[in-house]
C-alpha cells in the first residue's frame, strides 16, 4: 500500500494562486498581523509532516485492532495515545480557535486544508479532535464567560476532548423526539438523565477529560425541537480553579461494531443524574448546537475529500505499475509483457473522475473556508452578512456533495485495483468502508439536500442562491474566463430549475423531497464547474512556468467540463419528472 502524502503542491495552488488568500488576510485587521503567505506555508508543511509521518502510519493498524471497550472504559488502538500526545503539542486542535482562550486564531481556509490532510491520513484519528474543535466553537459562541474560561483553554490545548451528544435510540434525524431530561438544581446546575447512542469519542483514553455537549429537555419544555436545551456535561467534574475533581455520573455502556472507522469509538453514553451546565438559553439548545453541527458538517464533508485523495494516490501508483493487456491503439510498453493499465481509456476515466472531483472539492472547501473567514473577521457588516448567507447556503452542499462524490471516488479507486481492491492488502477496501459513514452522520445526505432546497433556497426565495450564481456570472463575463459558454448554460439551468421548483412546491410539498437530492447534486456540479474554470484560468496564465503541473490542471478542467458537467442534464430531467412516480405504490406494494 503506498504511503499517504499530503498533497501540498495542490493545496498551495488553491490557497495562493486561485484564491490569493494572503491578500485577503492582509486586509482583515484580525488576521493581518498573525498570518501571511510564509506563515501559512510553514503551517501547511508542518501539517503535512504530522499527518503523513505520524498519523497515516496508524491507519491500517487502527482499522485492524479497532477501538476496544472493557468494563466501561474505551481503549484506542496501539500507538494512538502516543501519536495524540505528539499531535496536541503542535496546537492543531485549536488551529483556528479563538486566540483569547488559547486557540491559534488561524484562518479557516488553512484549517480546512489541514483537515483534508488529517482525514486523508486517518479518518478515525481525525474524528477525536474534529469533535473537540466543533465543541469549542459552540462553547465560544454560546456559553457564559465562566464556562468558556474553564473549558476552552484545555480543550484548545487538546488535553480535554469534546463530544456531541444528540442521537438517542428513537431520535436521530428528528431530535424533537429526544427523552434525555435536565432537572434544574438549586446551585444553578442541572441534573442530566438519559441515554445517548452513536456518540463519537464518547469515551477514549487519549485525554484527561471529555466535555460532552448534550441535548436534553427541561421538565416544562414545549414538545418538539423548540423544547431542547444544550448542556455541557464533563466526564470528570471541573473545580472552579480549573483542576479536575470527582468523576461525574457519566458512563460508556458499550461501543458499536461497525463497517468502517473502526478505530473511532462510537459509544452508548449513559447520563445517570450527571451534573451539567446550561449553554446559551433554555429551549434554544438546537440553535446553539447548530454552531457545532455546521462546523462538523463542513468537516465531515472534508472527510470525503481526504479519503478520495488517499484512494487516488494509491490508484494512480497502481495503474502505472500493473501490467495487463495492450493499449487499444497499439503497445505502449513493447519491452514488457503487457502495458500498464493506465493506458486504458476506462482506467483513465476512473482516475480522472477521481482527480476532477477531489480537486474540485478541495477548491470548493477552501471557498467555503474563505467565506467563513469573511463572516468572522471582516469589519464590513455587509460583507460579513453576505458571507454568512453563502456559508449557510453552501454548507449542506459541501457536506453531501463532497461525501457522495468521495464515495464514488473511493469506489473508482477500488475498481482500478480490480480484485486486489477488494482484499485488505492495498487499503482501498478500508477507504470505501471509512468514507461511507460520512454520507450518514452529521445529518444524512438526504437531510442535507432537504435543508439546501427547502430552507436555503425556497424559503429564502432564492436570494442567497442568486448571490452565489451572480458570482459565477461575473466570473463568466470576464474576457479571460475559460468555458464561459458552458458555465453560463449551467448556471442558467440551476436558476431555472430553482424557479420551477419554487412554483411546484407552492402546490405540493412532496416536490421538495422528491427533487432535493438530485437538486443538491446539480448544484454541486455547477459549483465545481465554476471552480474548475477558475483553476483553468489561473493555470493558463502560468503554464509556461511549469507545464506539467499547470497543463494537468487545464486538462483536468477540460475533462470535468466535457465529461462530468453534462451529468446535470440527466439530473435536471429527473427533477422535472416530479414526485408523482414516487407515490405510484402503496407501502404494502414495496
Ligand X SMILES: Cc1cc2nc3c(=O)[nH]c(=O)nc-3n(C[C@H](O)[C@H](O)[C@H](O)COP(=O)(O)OP(=O)(O)OC[C@H]3O[C@@H](n4cnc5c(N)ncnc54)[C@H](O)[C@@H]3O)c2cc1C
Query: Of 199, 210, 315, 368, which one interacts with ligand X (CB under 6 A)?
Result: 199
Grid coordinates belonging to 472: 459565477
482 interacts with ligand X by CB under 6 A: no
Q: CA 183, CA 341: separation in Å to the nearest integer? A: 64
DSSP 8-state symbol, 169: T
Contact criterion met (CB below 8 Å) for 440 and 400? no
Query: Of 30, 447, 488, 555, which one interacts with ligand X (CB under 6 A)?
Result: 447
> Between residues 322 and 455, which has the closer beta carbon with respect to ligand X?
455
Which residues, 6+ apart, have CB-to-CB distance to 36 below 8 Å? Answer: 22, 25, 26
| β-pairing verdict for 229-234 and 236-238 | unpaired
> Between residues 166 and 230, which has the closer beta carbon with respect to ligand X?
166
Applying the rule CB under 6 A, the residues between 513 and 552 that interact with ligand X are 513
Query: Near ligand X by CB under 6 A, which window of 57-65, 159-167, 411-419, 578-586?
Result: 159-167
x/- string (CB under 6 A) for ligand X, residues 408-437? -----------------------------x
164 interacts with ligand X by CB under 6 A: yes
> Between residues 271 and 483, which has the closer beta carbon with respect to ligand X?
271
211 interacts with ligand X by CB under 6 A: no
> Would you call 442 a catalytic residue per the annotation?
yes
166 interacts with ligand X by CB under 6 A: yes
DSSP 8-state symbol, 248: P
Q: CA 176, CA 435: separation in Å to the nearest integer? A: 28
Q: CA 492, CA 575: separation in Å to the nearest integer? A: 15
> Between residues 43 and 131, which has the closer beta carbon with respect to ligand X?
131
Q: CA 385, CA 393: separation in Å to the nearest integer? A: 12
578 interacts with ligand X by CB under 6 A: no
Q: CA 185, CA 194: separation in Å to the nearest integer? A: 17
> Between residues 2 and 172, which has the closer beta carbon with respect to ligand X?
172
List, in sequence order, every beta strand (DSSP E) within 64-173. Answer: 68-70, 73-75, 160-165
Which residues, 6+ apart, have CB-to-CB distance to 555 below 8 Å? Answer: none
299 interacts with ligand X by CB under 6 A: no
198 interacts with ligand X by CB under 6 A: yes
Closest residue to ligand X, Cβ-based? 172
CA dihedral 29, 35, 40, 41 (to 10 degrees): 130
**Of 442, 511, 518, 572, which one is the catalytic site residue?**
442
Contact criterion met (CB below 8 Å) for 21 and 370? yes
Query: Of 79, 176, 184, 446, which one interacts with ligand X (CB under 6 A)?
Result: 446
x/- string (CB under 6 A) for ligand X, residues 169-188? ---xx---------------
Contact criterion met (CB below 8 Å) for 21 and 35? no
Applying the rule CB under 6 A, the residues between 262 and 281 that interact with ligand X are 266
Residues designated catalytic: 442
User: Which residues sit at the interface with ligand X, rule CB under 6 A?
Assistant: 164-167, 172-173, 198-200, 258, 266, 437, 440-444, 446-447, 450, 513
Amino acid at each position: 500500500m503506498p504511503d499517504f502524502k499530503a498533497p501540498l503542491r495542490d493545496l498551495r495552488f488553491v490557497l495562493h494562486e486561485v484564491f490569493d488568500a494572503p491578500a485577503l488576510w492582509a486586509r482583515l485587521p484580525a488576521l493581518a498581523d498573525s498570518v501571511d503567505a510564509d506563515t501559512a506555508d510553514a503551517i501547511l508543511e508542518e501539517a503535512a509532516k504530522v499527518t503523513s509521518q505520524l498519523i497515516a502510519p496508524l491507519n491500517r493498524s487502527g482499522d485492524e485492532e479497532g477501538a476496544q471497550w472493557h468494563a466501561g472504559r474505551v481503549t484506542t488502538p496501539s500507538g494512538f495515545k502516543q501519536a495524540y500526545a505528539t499531535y496536541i503539542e503542535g496546537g492543531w486542535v485549536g488551529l483556528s480557535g479563538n486566540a483569547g482562550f488559547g486557540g491559534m486564531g488561524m484562518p479557516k481556509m488553512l484549517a480546512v486544508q489541514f483537515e483534508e490532510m488529517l482525514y486523508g491520513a486517518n479518518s478515525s484519528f481525525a474524528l477525536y479532535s474534529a469533535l473537540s474543535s466543533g465543541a469549542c466553537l459552540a462553547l465560544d459562541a454560546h456559553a457564559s464567560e465562566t464556562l468558556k474560561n474553564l473549558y476552552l483553554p484545555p480543550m484548545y490545548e487538546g488535553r480535554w476532548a469534546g463530544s456531541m451528544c444528540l442521537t438517542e435510540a428513537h431520535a436521530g434525524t428528528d431530535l424533537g423526539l429526544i427523552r434525555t431530561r435536565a432537572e434544574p438544581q438549586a446551585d444553578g446546575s442541572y441534573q442530566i438523565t438519559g441515554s445517548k447512542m452513536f456518540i463519537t469519542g464518547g469515551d477514549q483514553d487519549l485525554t484527561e477529560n471529555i466535555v460532552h455537549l448534550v441535548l436534553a429537555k427541561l421538565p416544562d419544555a414545549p414538545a418538539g425541537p423548540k423544547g431542547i436545551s444544550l448542556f455541557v456535561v464533563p466526564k470528570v467534574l471541573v473545580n472552579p480553579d480549573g483542576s479536575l475533581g470527582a468523576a461525574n455520573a457519566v458512563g460508556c455502556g458499550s461501543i458499536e461494531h461497525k463497517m468502517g472507522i473502526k478505530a473511532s469509538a462510537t459509544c452508548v453514553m449513559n447520563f445517570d443524574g450527571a451534573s451539567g451546565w446550561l449553554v446559551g438559553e433554555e429551549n434554544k439548545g438546537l440553535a446553539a448546537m447548530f454552531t457545532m453541527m455546521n462546523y462538523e458538517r463542513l468537516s465531515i464533508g472534508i472527510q470525503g475529500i481526504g479519503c478520495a485523495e488517499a484512494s487516488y494516490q494509491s490508484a494512480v501508483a497502481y495503474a502505472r505499475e500493473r501490467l495487463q493487456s495492450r493499449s487499444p491503439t497499439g503497445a505502449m510498453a513493447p519491452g514488457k509483457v503487457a502495458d500498464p493499465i493506465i493506458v486504458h481509456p476506462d482506467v483513465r476515466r476512473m482516475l480522472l473522475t477521481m482527480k476532477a472531483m477531489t480537486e474540485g472539492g478541495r477548491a470548493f472547501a477552501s471557498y467555503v473556508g474563505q467565506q467563513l473567514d469573511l463572516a468572522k473577521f471582516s469589519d464590513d457588516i455587509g460583507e460579513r452578512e453576505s458571507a454568512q448567507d453563502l456559508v449557510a447556503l453552501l454548507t449542506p452542499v459541501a457536506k453531501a456533495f463532497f461525501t457522495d462524490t468521495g464515495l464514488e471516488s473511493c469506489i473508482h479507486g477500488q475498481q482500478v485495483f480490480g480484485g486486489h481492491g477488494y482484499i485488505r492488502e492495498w487499503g482501498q477496501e478500508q477507504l470505501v468502508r471509512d468514507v461511507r459513514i460520512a454520507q450518514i452522520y452529521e445529518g444524512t445526505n438526504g437531510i442535507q439536500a432537504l435543508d439546501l432546497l427547502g430552507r436555503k433556497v425556497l424559503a429564502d426565495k432564492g436570494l442567497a442562491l442568486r448571490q452565489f450564481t451572480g458570482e459565477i456570472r461575473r466570473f463568466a463575463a470576464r474576457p479571460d474566463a475559460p468555458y464561459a459558454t458552458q458555465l453560463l448554460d449551467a448556471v442558467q439551468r440551476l436558476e431555472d430549475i430553482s424557479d420551477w421548483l419554487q412554483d411546484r412546491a407552492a402546490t405540493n410539498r412532496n416536490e421538495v423531497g422528491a427533487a432535493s437530492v438530485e437538486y443538491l447534486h446539480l448544484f454541486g456540479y455547477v459549483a465545481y464547474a465554476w471552480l474548475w474554470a477558475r483553476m483553468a484560468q489561473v493555470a493558463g496564465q502560468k503554464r509556461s512556468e511549469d507545464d506539467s503541473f499547470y497543463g494537468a490542471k487545464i486538462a483536468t478542467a477540460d475533462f470535468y467540463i466535457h465529461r462530468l458537467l453534462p451529468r446535470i442534464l440527466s439530473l435536471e430531467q429527473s427533477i422535472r419528472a416530479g414526485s408523482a412516480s414516487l407515490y405510484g405504490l402503496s407501502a404494502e406494494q414495496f
